[in-house]
Amino acid sequence: QQPVQSPQAVILREGEDAVINCSSSKALYSVHWYRQKHGEAPVFLMILLKGGEQKGHDKISASFNEKKQQSSLYLTASQLSYSGTYFCGTPGGATNKLIFGTGTLLAVQP
Amino acid sequence: KAGVTQTPRYLIKTRGQQVTLSCSPISGHRSVSWYQQTPGQGLQFLFEYFSETQRNKGNFPGRFSGRQFSNSRSEMNVSTLELGDSALYLCASSLGTANEQFFGPGTRLTVL
C-alpha cells in the first residue's frame, strides 16, 4: 500500500517552517525521505529507524511514530534550495525495495 | 567517487518495439534497483538486483525484465512497448540493504 503524504503541495516564503507528513496503512519499521528537484534525480535526505535512530541530514529533522504508523519531516527556516518534491519511502521487505509515498511539492519563494 | 550513470538519457520508440536501458552503479555497490516515475502513478518499484540475483520484483507485467552483470552493472528491458510505458526510468544503487539509495539521472522514454 502506497504511503499517503500531506499536504500535497505547500508554498512558503524563505525563513518559514513546514511539516510534511507520511502515513502508512501498514506497520512501519523504518521510513526513508528523499527530495527531488525538477528535472533531477531523487536525493537521499534521511532514514528513520524503529527505536528512534536517525541517519542522514544535519539541517532537516524528522520524527517517526511507530504506533501511528506515521513519519513527519520538519523543514525549519526554509531556504530557496529546499524547493522540490519530497517523497517518503517505506521498505517492502528485507531488500532495498522502497514503496514511495504520493509526494509533497514544496515551493519556497523569496 | 563517480555517481550512478544511466544510458541513454533520452529515448523515443514506437509501440511494439523493445528497449534496453543501462545503469552503472557507484563503485562497490552491489544492489541496483529500478523505478518507473510517471505523473499519474508516481515512483513505482520495478525490481532489485543484488549480486546478479533478482531479490524483489514490483507489480509490473512480464514485458519488463532485467538483469545484473558480475560488475554490478544492470540493464532493464521492456518488450512490446505500449504508450503507457512512457516514463522516466530511474535506477538506484546501494551499498547493502536498508541503506540510502543513490539515484541516477534517469532515462526518459517516450513511446509514440
- Give mean pLDDT in consecutive 10-residue pieces for chain A, a chain of 110 residues: 94 95 88 93 89 68 87 92 95 86 96
Under a CB-based contact definition with an 8 Å cutoff, are residues B77 and B65 in contact?
yes
Answer yes or no: do A96 and B106 touch at CB < 8 A.
Answer: no
Dmax over CA atoms of chain B, in Å, equals 39
* B37: nearest Cα among A77, A85, A31: A85
Between residues 15 and 74 of chain A, which touch chain B (CB distance below 8 Å)?
Answer: 30, 32, 34, 40-44, 47, 55-56
Residue in chain B nearest A41 by alpha carbon: B105
Contacts 24+ apart (CB under 8 A), A7-10: A7/A104, A8/A102, A8/A103, A8/A104, A8/A105, A9/A104, A9/A105, A9/A106, A9/A107, A10/A104, A10/A105, A10/A106, A10/A107
- Contact list in A for residue B98 (CB cut-off 8 A) is 30, 47, 91, 94, 96
> pLDDT for B46-65, tens place per residue?
999 999 999 999 999 999 99
- The rounded distance, in Å, linking the Cα atoms of A41 and B105 is 5
- At A64 the pLDDT is 87
Under a CB-based contact definition with an 8 Å cutoff, are residues B110 and B11 in contact?
yes
- At A58 the pLDDT is 63
> Helix (H, G, I), strand (E, B), or coil: what is residue B78?
strand
Which of B32, B34, B45 to substitute to test the interface with A, most A CBs within 10 Å? B45
The reply to whether B101 touches chain A by the CB within 8 Å rule is yes
Encode chain B (112 residues) as per-residue pLDDT tens digits: 689 999 999 999 999 999 999 999 999 999 999 999 999 899 999 999 999 999 999 999 999 999 999 999 999 999 999 999 999 999 999 988 778 899 999 999 999 9
User: Closest partner residue to A100 among B42, B94, B102, by Cβ?
Assistant: B42
Q: Which helix (H) or strand (E) holds B12?
A: strand B10-13
- At A92 the pLDDT is 82
Measure B99 CA to nearest chain A CA, in Å.
8
